[in-house]
Amino acid sequence: MTIKGLFWGGFSSGARQVISALLGLVLLNQLTPGDYGLVGMLAIFTGIAGTLQEGGFSSALINRKEFKHEDFNAVFWFNILMGLAMYIILWFCAPMIARFYGHPELLKISRVLFLSFVFSSFGISNSAYLSRFLMIRVKARIDLLNISISGIVAVILAIKGYGYWALVVNTVLYSFVHAVLLIIFTPWHPSFKINFKPIWNMFGFSFKLVIASFVGQIQSNIFSVVLGRYYSKQEVGYYSQGTKWSNMIQGVISGTVNSVAHPVFARTISEKGRQLLMFRKFLRLSACMVCPAMLGLAFIAPQLITLINDEFLPSVPVIQFYAIYCISAAVTNIYAQLNIAHGGSGRNLIITLINAALQITVAFSVYKYGINTMALAVSLCNCLIVFLWHYVAGPLVGMKLRMLLMDVLPYGAISALVMVLTYFLTKPISNVALLMVAKIIIAVLLYFAALRIFDSTIYKEFKKFIVDNFKK
């Protein structure tokens, strides 16, 4: 069940990100750094509002051992009320947001963009239901259909010259279509018999997750706020695009693992030995995918951005530095899922507060040195947080530091070696497009060859699963 869930989670995340990347390439070619910068300035508001609206109840529902209709129904109506409340508050805050950044056009942009979390509130309970019962294949179909519809509409608007409105419509339409598809394809449906008592029963667990997510949103988006206040919208666009490409790829790994890890950890809570084995398997799987993916992105970033739109070349160093952040984030995500499954929302909050305090302090200390320095600083901070997570959550399953290093470092070392070899093998190529293609093909072949030579267990398990299902 775990490998099957990982396969469908990986297929969903991978295909979704491939489609998103292809559509994003077209948008990047049609839009300007300023367009991305304007929308990027609002990320902190949509992130915080979305966190408050969700309330941490998705994780609470997944953690519950027994399923009751009343639990999901209470969360469904709570999310809708919170979504509407957040939109009304931010609708009135829109003029202040526009004045803060000094861009009057943000008034209309924000009032339209903020509709996204109103629409998304209608699908949160349904999404939690699919995760709770490991209905990963259904989620995969919904995600692929949703991103295709919203992405195609955004591309059409960008080509027709609507600029930043293409990005705004993409975000809003994505939330709307996603909610509609979840309601249609999820076996569970809400009722008008509303009882908010289950909300109070879950509140003790969920509110700590809300605070942690709230702080996490501030931490993740503080750099865009600082840049938006003290730098131009073009520089915000460079930073936004630099982090977007890294997050897009890391999202494949997180989507693959997180869709299965939390439910699996919750089901094996009383089996410490088995849970340790599962935890290490998730850890190796993440390292096996994220290390070559992120180092590979950093490796081809100059050619990739040159081919798409050389106006965005200043974002290349951000992509390369932020790749370090995403590797460490893939590891911390798994520790966080384990911790939540053990009911440790309080521990999540403490670590998030420490991480946020560290990164916000760093942001205000180095912002004057530019976007590249900020990207490097936040990446190094997140590497330190990996060891804090290990110290807090590792004992839950008897995870030792040497196990962590043995599970992660080999994939990092192999990936780095592959990139070095590929660099020398492709050095004679001068054509930009040919160089990027050659780098990708050679690096992929060398990496899979290395996995076979070192007899990777994760590689063998996935190969066997794919071959067995292909035969069927």
Residue 204 has pLDDT above 50, yes or no: yes
With beta carbons less than 8 A apart as the criterion, state whether 389 and 332 touch: yes
How large is the average pLDDT for residues 94-120? 87
CA dihedral 425, 431, 434, 439 (to 10 degrees): 40
Residue 169 and residue 154 in contact, taking contact as beta carbons nearer than 8 Å: yes
Q: What is the pLDDT of residue 1?
A: 46
> How high is the pLDDT of residue 472?
47
Rounded Cα gap, residues 105 and 102, in angstroms: 9
Nearest-angstrom CA–CA distance, 92 and 399: 49
Backbone dihedral region of 10: left (phi > 0), alpha (psi from -120 to 50 degrees) or beta? alpha
Q: If 0-12 CB within 10 Å is exposed, 13-18 middle and 19+ buried, where does residue 230 land?
A: exposed
Tell me the C-alpha distance between 73 and 76, whole Å: 5
- Lowest-confidence range among 180-194, 337-351, 435-449? 337-351
Give ∠ CA 94-100-104 in degrees, rounded to 5: 60
Q: How confident is the model at residue 205 (pLDDT cuts 50, 70, 90)?
A: low
What is the radius of gyration, based on Cα positions, of the chain? 22
Is the pLDDT at 304 greater than 60? The verdict is yes
At residue 422, does pLDDT exceed 90?
yes
From residue 403, give the alpha-carbon distance in Å to each of 5, 137, 287, 332: 24, 32, 13, 15
pTM above 0.75, yes or no: no
Mean pLDDT, residues 161-168 taken together:
86
Given a contact cutoff of 8 angstroms between Cβ atoms, the answer to whether 75 and 199 are in contact is: yes
Structure tokens at 449: 């060859």
d(CA 32, CA 166) in angstroms, rounded, equals 12
Q: Kindly list the domain boundaries of the chain, sorted by start residue.
A: 31-218, 231-466
Task: State the Cα–Cα distance between residues 277 and 188, nearest whole angstrom.
Answer: 32
**Mean of the per-residue pLDDT values for the chain?**
79
Summarize the chain as % helix, strand, coil (round to 5).
Answer: 85, 0, 15
> Which of 247-256, 339-348, 357-366 shows the lowest mean pLDDT across its residues?
247-256
Q: Give pLDDT tens digits for 37-76.
A: 778 778 777 777 766 666 566 666 666 666 677 777 888 8
**Based on the number of CB atoms within 10 Å of its own CB, is 202 exposed (0-12), middle (13-18) or buried (19 or more)?**
buried
